[in-house]
Amino acid sequence: MPTRTNPLKLNPLQLKTLAILQALAREPGFADPPDAEGLVRIRAYPVAHGDHVHIGRLIVRAKDAAGLFNPNVLNVLARRGLITPGPSFEPVLTPAGLAYETGISKDILHESGH
């Protein structure tokens, strides 16, 4: 039986935010390596560059990244067990958060042209 897309019924902004956090977790400039429990702490957020942000070789429209700065979105992701707050309240992705299939990464994460 195939896995169901979005089993936690996250809304579009929550899905976008999680997809961006997953991309940040793969970039050493933004995240720590996974710890012994598989948790990945996001150390920094990308800075807006015009109407987009850069995550390594990827770009994301700034409007798609709005959930990164929305405490309500982050609280929902925490309640669903996808992230947990770090020591300075930065998001820490759980193994469940890293593995969650958002189904929208290809729609919001694009290869950079510059």
Cα–Cα dist 29/34, whole Å: 14
pLDDT digits (tens, 9 = 90+) for 10-52: 999 999 999 999 999 999 999 999 999 999 999 999 988 889 9
Question: pLDDT band at residue 78, thresholds of 50, 70 and 90?
Answer: very high
Cα–Cα dist 30/13, whole Å: 21
Counting the structural domains of the chain, the total is 1
CA-wise closest residue to 24 among 66, 68, 61 = 68
Residue 22 counted as domain residue: yes
Residue 113 has pLDDT above 80, yes or no: no
- Domain interval for residue 23: 12-111
Residue 82 has pLDDT above 80, yes or no: yes
Residue 1 counted as domain residue: no
Q: What local confidence, expressed as pLDDT, does residue 74 receive?
A: 96
Give the global pTM.
0.93
Residue 7 counted as domain residue: no
